[in-house]
Structure 1
């Protein structure tokens, strides 16, 4: 039986249990059984973490000692890289990641992204000379200073926890902010180990804090309501993002939101290898639990039958190539929890009721284990107005929609409340024209990598506001000050 060590809190430089000693089980999606325990943060723990982060920002040199920050955060990232094998094991056991997925986006993508953020640090503009200006009879020398916003509450999801944790925490720390990380209840250890390694790296007390809790809302609500917390950076559902915006208004917080997605994949009729492009579109990576995974496939009506046959071949070839925890080449395991399992199945039933044709899949798979397994699923004959085409399912479910021409494809792509990611495959010039008209924060053309650690990531509309990663991801945590001195 695989197990994980306890997931403890990090508050003011000390890794410890909760103040009342209570804990909650850390349950593996593979088995539905506990694989460890996590500290159950109390309101007193939250208060202590906020006070520690506030003091570290206000009373230490962290916010303005850039060489020290870079040195310590580099050491922090080096320790994360050195503990890669442990991080892979955590991603497998508590996030339900297959080994193939853990070795790519779950862990290696996160570590590579963190290293790229370090490289972006020296590209950030901290101070600008705006020259001398004569006004009202005297001259002023003007500079623009970009300085950290303050205390950041980072609230992260369970799907790719290390990736999102690093994207928020490393960028905010590099900016000079102090951070309180609140992970999802399903993935506490991935945040806890970051706390342990931060102490080992020598980050000053209070600069980075970690609060785990089985309550999905309590810690976040306290962070949002507290005026000592200047920024909330949240990744999760659009519904929760809206609540955070409403609650944060009372203290005029800076709010960054990376929310849901229903990303589109458009395959044009002149795609260099149409059949292969369609086959590669099946939703299987990490059981479809990714906000930017394209789950709406748009194919030309003139080649629709051909596309459906290609999908049948692709899913048939994948039929037994998932759900094995120990297979290093597999990319798909279970969904995260019983709640998510039931939610995905309810959407599959809804698709049938809406009149879509279930091409493959659609069932729970208890034969794969005692955890939360749902087989790869595909609906064809889908209308873009159906709920399965408009709402984020967050499971291994692909919907296939026909289009008449490029204008129709663009219209269908943009008829969505979400605008996070997308993809277009076709002759390059034509595909680029389509890509530029898709409402989305990141669009891949012919397989180009539009999501990497040195590029800004985020969405429009219901997919959120603000950007993570890249230079822009660090700058999100900076404010602008003007200083003018008489000559």
Structure 2
């Protein structure tokens, strides 16, 4: 792999800068537990400067009005990031702990490849739509619906897929004509600071249009949510944090987009090929160590095949390859930090206390003494209402629940405060689609289908969030709607 690409500085008002007080914090590789570099530990003063720069750029430049210029800048950004993809790949693997294999898909290459689609969308979007003439109260009137940028967008992103989520927020917001302040997760600063470096050095994006503030803590994120100069907050992360963000934004009635937690169900109907289901479940459990909000971490098996399915899962995961994320043969690396590992182990213990049995895994792998690893784990005999069946564990832990037919499977799948994703497997496409239609969730994969795509709206029902990211719907999250009525003479 290429050498790790680092950028310790933040981007504020067009300049790459250190924290105002010079403070930094360590960026730790979760696979080696070694420091790979430092990042600026941004202060309240830094965040204030970033917000002020974004506000000025929106209010006093022609960024919001010059569509052709915005499109050109996004194409420049795509070209520059693509040119540096291998360096960005090495940095992403090092700070995230994600397997390098995933960077050729959703961790890096897929979101980079999607940037031209966003530029094309902005270029061809119908920014104004005529509603024709009407005569309200006898006044002949021509009506137009106009779409305009929201203004200053605060983007707060998580550590699990940082490059993908940073781009999924920043680029559509820019294409829509907004200015942005990006606050990345403390664990993965380089995914954001490197984006800032590329913007500053390889694009014509004006000063203040994009700002990046890194910090070891969350106080500056709170500041971003509360500041009246910010018009919108776009957040991806846990439901608990999303609740706090919604509360912080409420005082100034900000527009809020939230993509939050999930406890998605993989539903195997009684005619499904169990071997195929087991393989799918194993991938979902272990991909990026289960650190994906859309991972299907509940497996619903028909009761007649329940024990055979559990045995097959245990056998499969005993020899499942995981470990060094720089090894292209693995899809599962470490968890992001020790606190997260202890959280996951605590959930496994809680499951056992509430009556579940460990079919495989359940602990720290003896062959990986360094790195924040947890064994791929299957919990059987799980009550659908138990803690491990209801809470988002965010680790390589699969809970397996029996069902007694399609109606019962739908009932269990929907027995969740979340509604982000899901999967249905059946020998009958029609039957699988009927179950998918009844699931209260934002995305569903049916019989091998994959929902992910830059043009596909992603988001959830219930406590999985508000609004959609990506696709036309995701682009329109960053727009306001203005109705203009002109008297006809």
| Alignment TM class, shorter chain as reference | over 0.9
Number of the residue aligned with 1:280: 280
Q: CA deviation at 1:424?
A: 0.2
Name the CA distance, whole Å, in 1 between partners of 2:344 and 2:185: 19
**Superposed displacement of residue 114, structure 1:** 2.8
Which residue matches 2:269? 268
Judge conservation of contact 1:442–1:451 (CA < 8 Å) in 2: no
State how far apart, in whole Å, the 2-side matches of 1:256 and 1:206 are. 22
Query: For the Cα contact (< 8 Å) 1:360–1:377, is it kept in 2?
Result: yes
Structure 2 equivalent of residue 231 of structure 1? 232
Contact 1:262 1:294 survives alignment (8 Å): yes
Question: Structure 1: which 5+ runs fail to align?
Answer: none
Post-superposition offset of 1:316: 2.6
- Report if the CA contact (8 A) 1:25-1:38 is conserved: yes
Where do residues 87-236 of structure 1 align in structure 2 (5 Å cutoff)?
A: 87-199=88-200, 200-215=202-217, 217-236=218-237
Identify the residue that residue 311 of structure 1 maps to in structure 2: 313
SS at match of 2:367: helix
Task: State the distance in 2 between where 1:369 and 1:331 align.
Answer: 19
SS at match of 1:401: strand
**TM-score, normalised on structure 1?**
0.97
Q: List per-residue Cα deviations over 1:13-52 (Å, max 9, x = no partner).
A: 1111111111100011012221100001111111110010
Deviations along 1:395-435, one digit per CA (max 9) or x if unpaired, are 00000000001000000000000100000010100000000
CA contact (8 A) 1:265 1:296 kept: yes
Deviation at 1:186, TM superposition (A): 0.2
**Alpha-carbon distance in 2 for matches of 1:325, 1:102:** 11
C-alpha change, 1:4 and 1:86, in structure 2 (3 Å) is closer
Aligned residue for 2:383?
A: 383
Task: Describe the shift of the 1:326–1:480 C-alpha distance in structure 2 as closer, same or farther (beyond 3 A).
Answer: closer
Displacement after TM superposition at 1:170 (Å) = 0.6
Moved more, 134-143 or 37-46: 134-143
Q: Secondary structure at the match of 2:296?
A: coil
Residue 422 (structure 1) aligned with residue 448 (structure 2): no
Structure 2 distance, partners of 1:4, 1:149, is 33
Tell me the SS of whatever aligns to 2:104.
helix
Distance 1:256 1:379 in 2: 34
Aligned to 1:294: 296
SS in 1 for 2:251: helix
Distance 2:344 2:139 in 1: 68
Once the two structures are superposed, residues 427-451 of structure 1 have per-residue CA deviations (whole angstroms, 9 ceiling, x without a partner) of 1000000000001000000111112
Q: CA deviation at 1:369?
A: 4.2
The total of aligned residue pairs comes to 483
Q: Distance in 1 between matches of 2:212 and 2:435?
A: 43
Partner SS, residue 147 of structure 2: strand
Q: Hey, what's the Cα distance between the residues in 1 that align with 2:195 and 2:124?
A: 25
Q: Are 1:172 and 1:477, in contact at CA under 8 Å, matched by a contact in 2?
A: yes
Structure 2 distance, partners of 1:288, 1:113, is 24
Q: Distance in 2 between matches of 1:260 and 1:342?
A: 19
Separation in 2, partners of 1:86, 1:366 = 32
Alpha-carbon contact 2:5-2:87 (below 8 Å) kept: no
CA offsets 1:294-343 (integer angstroms, 9 cap, x no match)? 0000010011122122212321331xx11023311211110000110110
* 8 Å contact kept, 2:92–2:191: yes
Alpha-carbon contact 2:6-2:91 (below 8 Å) kept: no
8 Å CA contact 1:101, 1:332 repeated in 2 = no
Q: What CA distance in whole angstroms lies between the structure 2 residues aligned with 1:206 and 1:100?
A: 35
Secondary structure of residue in 1 paired with 2:105: helix
Does 2:343 correspond to 1:343?
Answer: yes
Answer whether contact 1:114 1:170 (CA < 8 A) is retained.
yes
1:120–1:470 CA contact under 8 A, matched in 2: no
Aligned to 2:480, what secondary structure does the other structure show? strand
**Cα shift at 1:123:** 4.9
Question: Structure 2 CA distance, aligned partners of 1:96 and 1:239?
Answer: 24
Match of 1:411 in 2: 411
1:3 touches 1:36 (CA, 8 Å); kept in 2?
A: no
Instruction: Give the Cα separation in 1 of the matches to 2:124 and 2:287.
Output: 33
Query: Alpha-carbon deviations, 1:331-359, whole Å to 9, x = none?
Result: 11100001101101101111111111100
Number of the residue aligned with 2:37: 36
Q: CA deviation at 1:90?
A: 1.3
- When structure 1 is superposed on structure 2, of 77-86 and 101-110 the one drifting more is 101-110
Give the whole-Å Cα distance in 2 for the aligned partners of 1:155 and 1:366: 36
Instruction: Verify the 8 A CA contact 1:92 1:98 in the aligned structure 2.
Output: yes
Q: State the shift of 1:366 in Å.
A: 5.4
**Kept in 1: contact 2:6–2:194 (CA 8 A):** no
- Where 1:221 maps in the other structure, the secondary structure is helix
Query: Secondary structure of the residue that 1:298 maps to in structure 2?
Result: strand
**SS of residue matched to 2:434:** helix
